[in-house]
Structure 1
Amino acid sequence: MEIVLPQLGESIAEGIIGKWLVIEGDEIDKYQPLVEVITDKVNVEMPAPVSGKITKIVATEGKTVLVGSVIALIETSDQADNEILGTSEVDTIGGFVSDMPAVGPTGAANVPQHTSQEEKNVGNISEPRLSPAVKKLVEKHNINLSELQGTGRLGRVTRKDVEAFLNIETIIPKDLVDRGIVRQAMDPIRKTIAQNMAQSAADIPDVWLSIETDVTNLVILRESIKSKFLETNGFPITFLAFAVFSVAQGIKECPIVNSSIDKDEIIVHNELNMGIAVASSAGLIVPVIKDVFDKSLTSIAAEIYRLVTSANSGNLAHSDVTSGTFTINNTGALGSNLSKPIIVPGQAAIMTTEEINKKPVVVPFDSKRTELQVSINKQEAIEIRSIMNLCLSFDHRIMDGSHAANFLNCVKTLMESFGKDTALD
């Protein structure tokens, strides 16, 4: 019987086979994790639709397959099963059984609970059940099963559990190292990133500009509230939250920035869904804060915390990584002072917030701030201020430089206006 790639979410037509969790010849249980499928820069862990024996793996790792395509063959004794097997549409990224752990950037899916005889008798199981492939790996490394912590269904030990226990690392052949050349195959996530970036570079005539922003008052404000804010809310308020809030106000003044192009038409979006770039262990992921126009600083901070935490732990839902209309990247957290971001296909612009640095700045002389200023004359003085660059790449088909500059200046004005009277809620 055939196992096909199921519908992984609305508008998803294909997926990349990331990693098979079984091998040919394995006896598997219904709902046992079969394969990791890459889509929208996150992993979907697909379960077995029936119990049986894997007779053939059709789609190899790294291969792109269409929804409905055959990915494996399974032999089952249940003659009532259909000839073509798949799973129902999935609206959540991650494992399909609620007690299944996250794998890579995945999470748990909303799937009906099933009570099987195996579950009823789980208390009688004296040792973890192993698939043939996992059993071979355990025997090869002479591992004591009592030392393994199973994270699979009903505590089953998976291949990933064994690999984590062994901390297995890829070994590069010595002859390649000696030649000073190492060829490393792209993993599926890197392939997806490469395809999207190549598409953007080829299709979008982008223009870049940057503006300096004095965030001294913002730095003082955040420093004064961050401890109490964390204690009260249970999550931090970051500079990124203030930047997201400021971008939303800037887009209200310059709506063209929140748009996309469709042939000869420009589509200006009424809702602002802002992607925030996250450098996770699995690669670049861009979860999306929905309806930013309607959010306060506190609610933005809460959503940033939720999305970043979910991205790093592997619990992003499919809805968390779709429908973005604008993207922001906090490259300053990586020590960058200037960057030229690549526009996400389907959007009009992307902005980066850079590292905050202290710089000497010429400011109006203030007789009340003599301890902070070095006077130049009666009108001007030099003062150390906290400066951050805002960088913007925009699609020149959609807007001109005047639109982009106006938008950046709006963001700059708001970033510089934060102070002790700023409302957080």
Structure 2
Amino acid sequence: MKIEIKVPQAGESVTEAMISEWFKDNGEQVEKDEAILELETDKANMELNADQGGRLEISVEAGEVVTVGQIIGYIDTAAAGSVAAAPQAPASEAAGTAPESGNQDEKPLSPAVRRVVAEENLDPASIEGSGPGGRILKGDALAAAKTQTAPAAQPATPQPATPQPAAPKAAAPRPATPQPAVSAAGSRVERSVPMSMMRRRIAQRLVQAQHESAILTTFNEVDMSAMMALRARYKEAFEKKHGVRLGFMSFFVKACVEALKFVPEINAAIDGNNIVYRDYQDIGVAVGTEKGLVVPIIRNAGDLSFAGVESTINAYAKKARDGKISLDDLTGGTFTISNGGVYGSLLSTPILNPPQSGILGMHKIEKRPVVVDDQVVVRPMMYLALSYDHRIVDGKGAVTFLVKVKECIEDPARIMLEV
């Protein structure tokens, strides 16, 4: 009996996905509830488990885009016994390979990973897997290949030097060794790889935002001295009590909550000819991953303490690193904060995340001379940028919002007192 492997429904707005990798080869034995492939949607990745044990028959290869409900393979349950017996013959043939096969059992390799390991001549035992149960993912193998190629280039130069002592006159041909570098520098290699589903979605949303919104950006700058002093004074006590570090982002989340209450249209959205106002603040915090930018949502941020905000951000950051961000984590949001400063950005114009009406851009903290009480002093300054939808937010509201954020950061007591 053959059981169909279909692409599951991953969310209301998700209609297609990409097969990121098969964890088993075509014709291999799979066990019930064993993870057999990874699907990448435009929002998150998900693993698909086998409904029954049997022999895997792959119909659609990794890298292909598939639609919800499409059959991408089968599990032949009738062949379960014969497939399970097949690997035993070669295993008994050579007892000397037993330790090697045992090692593979510890770190089972998917076809995609096996291909990278073979092409790059990697040792699977030396690769640290980031997948469930320590399984090696394709990204882990590619990262290991990069780290291997860098050191490999250095030993290459001393190796030719060992034959040289045998013939003293051979020192003259040494300048010929740079030839590989010349050819590498002059290479014009091009390669085409499919765009990930997340990157496709990002591209689609950015174009959509530009076409459907009247985006304007206003700027201000904020003196970070008071906030940094407060954080330095209480960070140890904060971490000791709450078990989480006190970061800058919680201050900005709480400052934005107060500003959104003060300028409610920035927390609203357009629905046809109506404006939908919200009396809650769901703040999206942009998090960069290897596959692209994701924006998990801090629900009811106005009801959370500083420790609650920091704990939520830390949990999302860990899930993003582990590739465990779910659709529910990314759905909704009334406002977004993006921190380009962690990458060294001094100033930028963030793009809206539809249907939201505003996004705050944080930037690099840089010491600059400023005038305070008619005196020139050096202060840690940050540029802030608010991009907003001019269809619903006027310039006055946008400027007022940034001023409110600035006041809360420069005098953090305002956040506590909600003034």
- Which interval holds the TM-score relative to the shorter structure? 0.7 to 0.9
Q: Aligned match of 2:22 in 2, 13, 20?
A: 20
- The answer to whether 1:244 aligns with 2:246 is no
| SS at 1:235 equivalent | coil
Higher mean C-alpha displacement, 409-418 vs 126-135: 126-135
Q: Write the mapping of 1:65-144 to structure 2, written as runs, cut at 5 A.
A: 65-77=66-78, 129=105, 133=111
Q: Write the mapping of 1:290-305 to structure 2, written as runs, cut at 5 A.
A: 290-305=299-314
1:90 corresponds to:
none
Structure 1 residue 140, shift from structure 2 partner: 9.0
Higher mean C-alpha displacement, 181-190 vs 339-348: 181-190
2:381 corresponds to:
387
Query: What is the rounded CA distance, in whole Å, between the counterparts of 2:128 and 2:24 in structure 1?
Result: 19
1:56 corresponds to:
58
Contact 2:39 2:46 in 1 (8 A): yes
| TM-align CA RMSD | 3.7
| SS at 2:78 equivalent | coil
Structure 1 residue 49, shift from structure 2 partner: 2.0
Give a deviation string over 1:394-419, Cα, whole Å, max 9, x none: 11222221221121111111112125
User: Aligned letter for 2:351?
Assistant: I
Structure 1 residue 329, shift from structure 2 partner: 0.7
Change (3 A) 1:169 1:220: closer
1:43 corresponds to:
45
Greater CA radius of gyration, 1 or 2?
2
Q: Write the mapping of 1:94-243 to structure 2, written as runs, cut at 5 A.
A: 129=105, 133=111, 163=141, 167=145, 178-180=186-188, 182-185=190-193, 186-243=195-252
Structure 1 residue 311, shift from structure 2 partner: 1.4
Give a deviation string over 1:238-271, Cα, whole Å, max 9, x none: 1111001000000011111112222222222232
Give a deviation string over 1:351-408, Cα, whole Å, max 9, x none: 11112222222222xxxxxxxxxxxxxxx22222222111011112222212211211
Change (3 A) 1:201 1:71: farther
Query: What is the rounded CA distance, in whole Å, between the counterparts of 1:43 and 1:132 in structure 2?
Result: 16
1:347 corresponds to:
356
Change (3 A) 1:272 1:14: farther
1:105 corresponds to:
none
Structure 1 residue 144, shift from structure 2 partner: 8.4
Higher mean C-alpha displacement, 218-227 vs 313-322: 313-322
- The answer to whether 1:417 aligns with 2:417 is no
- The answer to whether 1:5 aligns with 2:7 is yes
Give a deviation string over 1:315-338, Cα, whole Å, max 9, x none: 333322211221101111222121
Report the count of equivalent residues.
Answer: 360
2:269 corresponds to:
260
Contact 2:247 2:310 in 1 (8 A): yes
Change (3 A) 1:68 1:177: farther
Contact 1:134 1:158 in 2 (8 A): no
Query: What is the rounded CA distance, in whole Å, between the counterparts of 2:135 and 2:338 in structure 1?
Result: 38
Query: What is the rounded CA distance, in whole Å, between the counterparts of 1:162 and 1:246 in structure 2?
Result: 39
Query: What is the rounded CA distance, in whole Å, between the counterparts of 2:124 and 2:390 in structure 1?
Result: 60
Structure 1 portions without partners, runs of 5+ = 80-124, 365-379
Give a deviation string over 1:157-193, Cα, whole Å, max 9, x none: 667599479647899xx99974535334233332232
TM score, norm. by length of structure 2: 0.74
Query: What is the rounded CA distance, in whole Å, between the counterparts of 2:64 and 2:289 in structure 1?
Result: 20
Contact 1:17 1:188 in 2 (8 A): no
Structure 1 residue 278, shift from structure 2 partner: 1.0
Query: What is the rounded CA distance, in whole Å, between the counterparts of 1:390 and 1:156 in structure 2?
Result: 41
| SS at 1:71 equivalent | strand
